[in-house]
Amino acid sequence: MYLLVERGANVHSQDSSGQNFLLALCSSYRGDSFAELLLLLVEQRVNFQVTDDKGRGALICLTANSHLTSEKFVEIAGMLIKLGVSVNAVDEDCSNLLHYLCKSHTRENLIRCVRYLITETDMDLEAKDKWGLRPVDYLRKTSSHLIQQYRLDKIIDLLAPLID
């Protein structure tokens, strides 16, 4: 990806699903040079507010990247937020970043990601999607086996006092 940008690839163009270079980077990049690529995109004046045809922006696309550890996710999310990506941006279903994280609760280190969003950002914890569900509601709907396995009860404990 770095070579593509260096050699003049159009980082502003979007494919048929609305993905541009930034969204593709967030959803699937595996390398160690994520920060360098973001800086290169800053130099190219990439629109960090871009969304795909489902309304998903860079942070929401980042939740789809199964190659990231929680530490790397928090690092990259922090960089994107500093670059102006809204932590409260929503997709076409009114789901925000926290909804996505709570829906994909099998992420191994979900607690660290959620703790970061709660303590370090102005994340709207009461945001409801188009079905009227808050992120914590998705966690509460999970089976007790998953809650125990992934320690989701700790996340519910983190979220619940803030929004109930």
Final residue of a structural domain among 86, 103, 129: 86
Binning pLDDT at 50, 70 and 90, where does residue 130 land? very high
Clarify whether residues 77 and 28 are in a common domain: yes
Indicate yes or no: pTM above 0.85. no
Q: What is the CATH number of the domain that holds 109?
A: 1.25.40
Mean pLDDT computed over every residue of the chain: 80
What confidence tens digit (pLDDT) does each residue in 70-122 have?
A: 888 888 899 999 998 999 999 999 999 988 888 875 555 577 787 788 888 88
How many domains are there within the chain?
Answer: 2
Clarify whether residues 50 and 121 are in a common domain: no
CA distance 59 to 81: 8
pLDDT attached to residue 28: 84
Clarify whether residues 57 and 100 are in a common domain: no
Host domain of residue 50: 1-86
